[in-house]
Structure 1
Amino acid sequence: MRRNKRRKLLLLLLLSPLFTFANFDFNANCLKAYQHIFELKLNTARQLIANERKIHPNNSIIPLLENYVDYFYLLGTDNKQEFERLQKNKEKRLAQINDDDVKSPYYLYALAEINLQWALVRGRYGAYYTASREINKANNLLEENTKKFPGFHLNAKGLGLINTLMGTLPDGFLKSALSAFGIKGNVQTGLAMLDKLAENLPRSAYEPFFEEVVFYYVYVLNDVVHSPLAYAKTFKYTERFTDSSLLKTYLQAYTASKNGKNDQAIAILTEKPSGISYQPFPYLDYLLGVSLLNKLDLNAASHFDKYLQSNKGTSYIKDTYLHLAWIALLKNDEAGYADYVNKVKTRGYTFQEKDKQALNEANAALPHKVLLTARLLFDGGYLSKADETLAPFDNESFNSLKDKAEFNYRQGRINDDLGKDDIALSHYQDAINYGKSLKQYYAAKAAVLTGKIYEKKKKIDKAKAYFTIAINLKNHEYESGIENEAKQGLKRL
């Protein structure tokens, strides 16, 4: 029923002058291709775009749609060779748009979108200098378009994303490069822009662009600002997506797994739509493996194996082998554990933070099985089971400083999420004491989380003190991310 109503609405919208400007013609065929892109039915979208090029070769919406296809194809395949092959398409697409009607609101918008999409893909491979130039270009184009066409609401999508990303970037080359261009960013401004779009688009002439706005907003809520509202907002907005959308599956499953709704993530992933029309998405096999292992279901190994067989990209290879190593360890197979740890060290890449961390863990001592079990259960949101796992143990149960620090960090996280602030604070303090000289992240992260508890309790001086402790702890895992999180805390205060 919802699908039929949307089709009727789209037909009415297509009659509106909003969608047609000279050779920027978002006609029915283009809109249909756009919808298929956001269901991750990329082959169907390619066919529709090719047909549009035959009928209307001068339609400058075509290069924008083609870029969307490349963008989602590269996100799904995560293949650096494909990225290098396809990136040459950027300039010829910009050239076609540059020759078109400067009086259309789609003119600057399309140029900005193409630059921003390539910047986001480029950043996955560490090409920060070029990405910073593309983000700067996109930002300037969108700001100019906003001045020329203040009623063209789609400008806020890219500007909201750029503001949020810039407002949360840790110190480093990319932030320095963008700051040199004069882009500062403001997290609250960016979030407000995206939230307003997500709320208002379904009731406006821009309703067809709703899925795209939600895609970026969910990314920002989960991975950029780590918002406690990520779960509620994701499911609120993705409820409007059609059930045939593989993007809906990804957004909901990823958000559920990130927010302790592990059983829900498993259910969503096992019921995902499938067929030859969909873009291959190996990451979903990896995500299902992670979710099953968080439930201590050792059948997760088959999904990790499937990911390794089907994945042609660069991400999560080391992390997948680490998970297989953990499965071997939980089976008391230390030889199997050693074999998989060797594969962590020798296979895959370190573009992704998870793969860097997997390599760190592979080079560390054998993990304590009790702590590993509690870690997995906590990550799945099984707080009571994680608490029961650690209940028989205390500091004296562990020999190394690393295990003592991790034990207290795990206890702190569990009790923090259970709302037992005083117990959490005590364990976080022990994690700081035991872990402050170690390369593991436990002490620094415990300091940040302690600061957040005191911030919640309105004990501002204590909150500032612990955020500062986190910043001053150096040479540990996740240093830039944790330091940035602490600096954001100080800004809030």
Structure 2
Amino acid sequence: MIKKLLLITLLSFGLSLPSKANFDFNSNCIKAYQAIFDLRLNDAKALIQNEKKQNPNNGITILLDNYIDYFTLLASENKSDYERLKNNKATRLSALEKQDKNSPYYLFAQAEVNLQWGMLKSRFQDYFSSGMDIKKADNLLTANIAKHPSFLPNKKSAGLIDVIFGSIPSNMKGIFSTLGIKGNAAVGIRSLESLVSSLPRSSYKFYTDEVVFFLCYIETDLVHNKANYSKIMGYTNTMDDSSLLKSYLQGYVSARSARNDNAIEYLQKRPKGSEYLNFPVLNYHLGNAKLNRGDADANIYLINFLKEYKGINYVKDAYLKLAYYFYLRGDNAKYNTFLKMVKTHGSLYDEKDKQALKEANDAAPDMDLLKARLYFDGGYYPKALAELTGKDAGDFKLKRDQIELYYRLGRIYDESGRDSDAVVSYQKAINSGKLSSYYYAANAALSIGSIYEKKGDKAKAASYYKQAIAMKDHEYENSIESKAKDGLKRTGY
């Protein structure tokens, strides 16, 4: 009897002991993770809370909480949300440091928190702190790879960091290299692409959506090769149809790849419901795509975006697009009303908003050039060309419009595969606009350089890249100069 009572007492005592710190990416955590990548954040929060009750010392919940903040800020782009949430980083890192040091997730989870906040800080233009966080993540991953070389998730984050550090603009690489920051974008992309195949065959297959998420941005915004469209869309097909993130990525990639009709279809068919994260920027992209096509309801989506969005980007650009919507319909009163909104609302974080303010302070656009520009942005190249066929510089009063005519024709011919015609038009844009503050001439030189580089004529390509660099005090100067410098590096000049 005494032995039996002693056994019961010991068992009861054992059950009351606190569970040991651990990292258990169990089925409940996987469900929460998948809900996050469907953008069903409330469902994810409920699953995480349940896991905390059942396994209060499971360190994976700390990491999942950070994913929640990451996607919340990506969707809202709200400065006050950012200031409120960014202090969570230090708290979570401190909590992670108390977890199981022998787990492959120990250093990895700390790296993930640093990496996610590094990317967020860059979005809110806190660039130095962003670089430092991503460097910390890189150091942690390097140590984790040495300790756990077969831990496949290491490859996901290490590949992404290689892309981020390998994509630093040429004019900033010197600064970052002194801090030991360097990478190779091509190596990183290959690493991520290999994971799309290897992850589904592993116990870490739940990470596939995250890799696809990053590859969509990398291929669209960094590589920006429209010929890769089918490959990128193939990646997204692995995601569940109930995922709002899938609809966003398919719409965004299609819009950026000049597949405007596809973009509209994907964005309109997106899943809806109270369980999904409020993601106003989807209406911004849909409104833009519909404006490019000339749809009568484009204004509705742009207005809905402005009503719902409290973030830092695209506000000025959305008001400008609304102004153009009414301008194209001959409603000058509303055109002028929305132009005023461009000047008084929104921020100047994003290049689109800076350009929108510049256009709002400039003379009204030529109607035919505006239509051609919008058709071009949507990938409707024959329609864009039809708007400009038979016109020459003498048909336009403003020097700005004369330069844009040549530039726009060059862009249309370029995307239509008519290289010789493109070079002729681009050269006219350079000749007439190299001393102006508009970006047309500099980007025309960059584009001719790209045409000759593809043809294997490195000397001519380098000559035009140097011309692009030599032009100063124009729109998008840093971006164009950085691309031209990268071109010079590729050509060996």
**What is the aligned partner in structure 2 of residue 330 from structure 1?**
328
Tell me, in whole angstroms, the C-alpha distance in 1 between the residues paired with 2:174 and 2:412. Answer: 37
Tell me, in whole angstroms, the C-alpha distance in 1 between the residues paired with 2:174 and 2:303. Answer: 40
Tell me, in whole angstroms, the C-alpha distance in 2 between the residues paired with 1:137 and 1:178. Answer: 14
**What is the aligned partner in structure 1 of residue 94 from structure 2?**
95
**What is the aligned partner in structure 1 of residue 241 from structure 2?**
243
Displaced runs of 4 or more, over 6 A: none
Q: Deviations over 1:14-54 (max 9, x none)?
A: xxxxxxx9601001110100000000000000011011111
SS in 1 for 2:306: helix
Amino acid at match of 2:329: K
Tell me, in whole angstroms, the C-alpha distance in 1 between the residues paired with 2:165 and 2:399. Answer: 37
CA contact (8 A) 1:23 1:100 kept: yes
Tell me, in whole angstroms, the C-alpha distance in 1 between the residues paired with 2:175 and 2:96. Answer: 27
**What is the aligned partner in structure 2 of residue 416 from structure 1?**
414
1:85 partnered with 2:76: no
SS in 1 for 2:57: coil
**What is the aligned partner in structure 2 of residue 463 from structure 1?**
461
**What is the aligned partner in structure 2 of residue 443 from structure 1?**
441
Between stretches 330-339 and 385-394, larger displacement belongs to 330-339
**What is the aligned partner in structure 2 of residue 298 from structure 1?**
296
**What is the aligned partner in structure 2 of residue 321 from structure 1?**
319
Deviation at 1:203, TM superposition (A): 2.3
**What is the aligned partner in structure 2 of residue 159 from structure 1?**
158
Deviation at 1:192, TM superposition (A): 1.3
Deviation at 1:421, TM superposition (A): 0.6
Tell me, in whole angstroms, the C-alpha distance in 2 between the residues paired with 1:176 and 1:323. Answer: 38
Tell me, in whole angstroms, the C-alpha distance in 1 between the residues paired with 2:147 and 2:489. Answer: 33
Deviation at 1:298, TM superposition (A): 3.3
1:376 partnered with 2:374: yes
Tell me, in whole angstroms, the C-alpha distance in 1 between the residues paired with 2:438 and 2:198. Answer: 44
Between stretches 482-491 and 176-185, larger displacement belongs to 176-185
C-alpha distance 187-52 of structure 1, shift in aligned 2 (>3 A):
same
1:150 partnered with 2:161: no
Deviation at 1:204, TM superposition (A): 2.4
Amino acid at match of 2:290: L
Q: Deviations over 1:353-390 (max 9, x none)?
A: 21111111112221111111000000001011111111
**What is the aligned partner in structure 2 of residue 11 from structure 1?**
none
**What is the aligned partner in structure 1 of residue 4 from structure 2?**
none
Deviation at 1:343, TM superposition (A): 0.8
**What is the aligned partner in structure 2 of residue 340 from structure 1?**
338
SS in 2 for 1:25: coil
Q: What are the within-5 Å matches in structure 2 for residues 264-275 of structure 1?
A: 264-275=262-273
Q: What are the within-5 Å matches in structure 2 for residues 350-369 of structure 1?
A: 350-369=348-367
**What is the aligned partner in structure 2 of residue 492 from structure 1?**
490
1:218 partnered with 2:220: no
**What is the aligned partner in structure 2 of residue 123 from structure 1?**
122
CA contact (8 A) 2:465 2:488 kept: yes
C-alpha distance 47-317 of structure 1, shift in aligned 2 (>3 A):
same
Matched pairs, number: 472
Tell me, in whole angstroms, the C-alpha distance in 2 between the residues paired with 1:465 and 1:228. Answer: 25
Tell me, in whole angstroms, the C-alpha distance in 1 between the residues paired with 2:116 and 2:97. Answer: 17
SS in 1 for 2:317: helix
**What is the aligned partner in structure 1 of residue 73 from structure 2?**
74
Tell me, in whole angstroms, the C-alpha distance in 2 between the residues paired with 1:117 and 1:125. Answer: 13
CA contact (8 A) 2:170 2:485 kept: no
Amino acid at match of 2:216: V
SS in 1 for 2:312: coil
Between stretches 407-416 and 483-492, larger displacement belongs to 483-492
Deviation at 1:172, TM superposition (A): 5.7
Deviation at 1:91, TM superposition (A): 1.1
CA contact (8 A) 1:23 1:60 kept: yes
Deviation at 1:191, TM superposition (A): 1.4
- TM-score between both structures, scaled by the size of structure 1: 0.93
Tell me, in whole angstroms, the C-alpha distance in 2 between the residues paired with 1:423 and 1:199. Answer: 41
Tell me, in whole angstroms, the C-alpha distance in 2 between the residues paired with 1:447 and 1:153. Answer: 43
CA contact (8 A) 2:199 2:205 kept: yes
C-alpha distance 327-216 of structure 1, shift in aligned 2 (>3 A):
same
Deviation at 1:476, TM superposition (A): 1.2
Amino acid at match of 1:129: F
Amino acid at match of 2:489: K
| Unaligned stretches of 5+ residues in structure 1 | 1-20
**What is the aligned partner in structure 1 of residue 7 from structure 2?**
none
Tell me, in whole angstroms, the C-alpha distance in 1 between the residues paired with 2:203 and 2:403. Answer: 55
Tell me, in whole angstroms, the C-alpha distance in 2 between the residues paired with 1:216 and 1:424. Answer: 33
Tell me, in whole angstroms, the C-alpha distance in 2 between the residues paired with 1:140 and 1:340. Answer: 48
Larger Rg: 2
Q: What are the within-5 Å matches in structure 2 for residues 160-239 of structure 1?
A: 160-171=159-170, 175=173, 178-239=176-237
CA contact (8 A) 1:161 1:220 kept: no
Deviation at 1:313, TM superposition (A): 1.4
Tell me, in whole angstroms, the C-alpha distance in 2 between the residues paired with 1:381 and 1:205. Answer: 41
Q: Deviations over 1:101-126 (max 9, x none)?
A: 22211111111111111111111221
Tell me, in whole angstroms, the C-alpha distance in 2 between the residues paired with 1:361 and 1:158. Answer: 40
Within the candidate set 275, 278, 289, 1:277 is matched to 275
SS in 1 for 2:226: coil
Tell me, in whole angstroms, the C-alpha distance in 1 between the residues paired with 2:227 and 2:245. Answer: 20
C-alpha distance 296-459 of structure 1, shift in aligned 2 (>3 A):
same
CA contact (8 A) 1:262 1:380 kept: yes
Between stretches 396-405 and 83-92, larger displacement belongs to 396-405
Tell me, in whole angstroms, the C-alpha distance in 1 between the residues paired with 2:296 and 2:390. Answer: 24
Tell me, in whole angstroms, the C-alpha distance in 2 between the residues paired with 1:436 and 1:111. Answer: 49
Q: Deviations over 1:139-173 (max 9, x none)?
A: 11112211221211222222222222222222566
**What is the aligned partner in structure 2 of residue 4 from structure 1?**
none
C-alpha distance 22-54 of structure 1, shift in aligned 2 (>3 A):
closer
Q: Deviations over 1:333-356 (max 9, x none)?
A: 223222211111110111112111
SS in 2 for 1:212: helix
Tell me, in whole angstroms, the C-alpha distance in 1 between the residues paired with 2:238 and 2:223. Answer: 24
Amino acid at match of 1:64: L
| Unaligned stretches of 5+ residues in structure 2 | 1-19
Q: Deviations over 1:289-334 (max 9, x none)?
A: 0000000113200111111111121211100000011012101222
SS in 1 for 2:238: coil
